[in-house]
A and B are shown apart, each in its own frame.
Chain A
């Protein structure tokens, strides 16, 4: 680059991004696997047994990183969607759509592991604690985003409509979170917060962080993979997809 400026917009077309995504994908997949291995090692072999919760607390090494990921991915998704809406770039919308299912998956895992953690700790699979309830609403927001896009036949209209929905959602998420916290304090006594985590030994926090990074790398890899599939689907009639090596047979 003679002038030192990277023309990122060169990658704004699916045609140029497709091979780039293909080259990046394996790296993120490998990173994810390595970090997951490290994280699991910490989770099971380094972190000590908790005094109050015994071994069941080890679920937090999935639960908390999954929660973080589900919220982070929603914001990133809304960002891509907003970018696509503002600049009318096809690729941005495709990226937003590539993120959604993975984000929804982490929201589901957060709920699932939260329930399995709640049962031994607080006696019930679902205790309507503030964070789990907010997570549930976030899960619905993901589903709504995917449902809206699926319901609209025209892909361009679907992209832009779901972008508006994602932006409305992302503004609402803090408000919803606050209102659920508020609701929880109003009805205190009915349930105890399972998110009052055990006093964190450094190893526990390290384990959660490593697992969170693993999930993040995995999310990037999954998003790139899905984005490539979306590009192929949407642009099947274009010359560049038909000229691809993998399309030859």
Chain B
């Protein structure tokens, strides 16, 4: 692996296998990045669900208003 003073671009990784292995630290590196991605994805999904629930609440209130009117 050729790593020049400013980095070697795609020459960092000899093969895709090397990329996944991360020099033996694959568990730690991917454990970090994947959990981060999962947490962020989780937050986005949770926010979508919260928005849906909030809109249902608004519709319910609206319905209540209209029947009362």
Do any beta carbons of A and B sit within 8 angstroms of each other in the complex? yes
Please give the residue numbers on chain A whose beta carbons come within 8 Å of chain B beta carbons, in ascending order. Answer: 44-49, 54-56, 58-59, 62-63, 66, 101-102, 105, 108-109, 112-113, 116-117, 119-120, 201-203, 218, 222, 225-226, 228-229, 232-233, 236-237, 241-242, 244, 246-247, 249
Q: In the complex, what residues of A have CB within 8 A of residue B1's CB?
A: 49
Interface of B is mostly: helix
Contact of A63 among B32, B39, B60, B65 (CB under 8 A): B32
Q: In the complex, what residues of B have CB within 8 A of residue A105's CB?
A: 39-40, 43
Known interface pairs A54-B23, A108-B39; 15 further A-B residue pairs with C-beta atoms within 8 A, sorted by A's residue number: A44-B19, A45-B7, A46-B7, A46-B9, A48-B7, A48-B12, A105-B40, A109-B35, A222-B47, A225-B51, A228-B51, A229-B54, A232-B58, A242-B61, A247-B59
A163 → B minimal CB distance (Å): 22
Contact of B29 among A59, A102, A233 (CB under 8 A): A59
The answer to whether A247 and B6 touch (CB under 8 A), given A49-B1, A108-B39, is no
Q: Which residue of A lies closest to B21 (CB)?
A: A55
Give chain B interface residues in 10-45, CB to chain A under 8 Å.
10, 12-13, 19, 22-25, 28-29, 31-33, 35-36, 39-40, 43-44
Contact of B35 among A102, A112, A201 (CB under 8 A): A112
Please give the residue numbers on chain B whose beta carbons come within 8 Å of chain A beta carbons, in ascending order. Answer: 1, 3-10, 12-13, 19, 22-25, 28-29, 31-33, 35-36, 39-40, 43-44, 47, 50-51, 54-55, 57-62, 65
Those 9 A-B pairs whose CB atoms lie nearest each other, nearest first: A232-B54, A48-B3, A55-B23, A56-B25, A242-B62, A55-B22, A46-B7, A113-B32, A54-B23
Q: In the complex, what residues of B have CB within 8 A of residue A226's CB?
A: 47, 50
CB pair A49 B3 closer than 8 Å: yes
A169 → B minimal CB distance (Å): 22
Contact of A232 among B19, B22, B29, B57 (CB under 8 A): B57
State in angstroms the CA–CA spacing of A17 and B59 once bound together: 20
Q: In the complex, what residues of A have CB within 8 A of residue B44's CB?
A: 222
The answer to whether A49 and B54 touch (CB under 8 A), given A59-B28, A112-B32, is no
Q: In the complex, what residues of A have CB within 8 A of residue B31's CB?
A: 116
State in angstroms the CA–CA spacing of A102 and B40 once bound together: 9
A205 → B minimal CB distance (Å): 12
Q: In the complex, what residues of A have CB within 8 A of residue B8's CB?
A: 48
State in angstroms the CA–CA spacing of A201 and B5 once bound together: 8
The answer to whether A236 and B28 touch (CB under 8 A), given A44-B12, A48-B7, A222-B44, is no
Q: In the complex, what residues of A have CB within 8 A of residue B4's CB?
A: 48
Q: In the complex, what residues of B have CB within 8 A of residue A108's CB?
A: 39
Q: In the complex, what residues of B have CB within 8 A of residue A46's CB?
A: 6-7, 9, 12
Q: In the complex, what residues of A have CB within 8 A of residue B7's CB?
A: 45-48, 201, 203
State in angstroms the CA–CA spacing of A112 and B38 once bound together: 13
Q: In the complex, what residues of A have CB within 8 A of residue B58's CB?
A: 232, 236, 241-242, 244, 247
State in angstroms the CA–CA spacing of A226 and B54 once bound together: 11
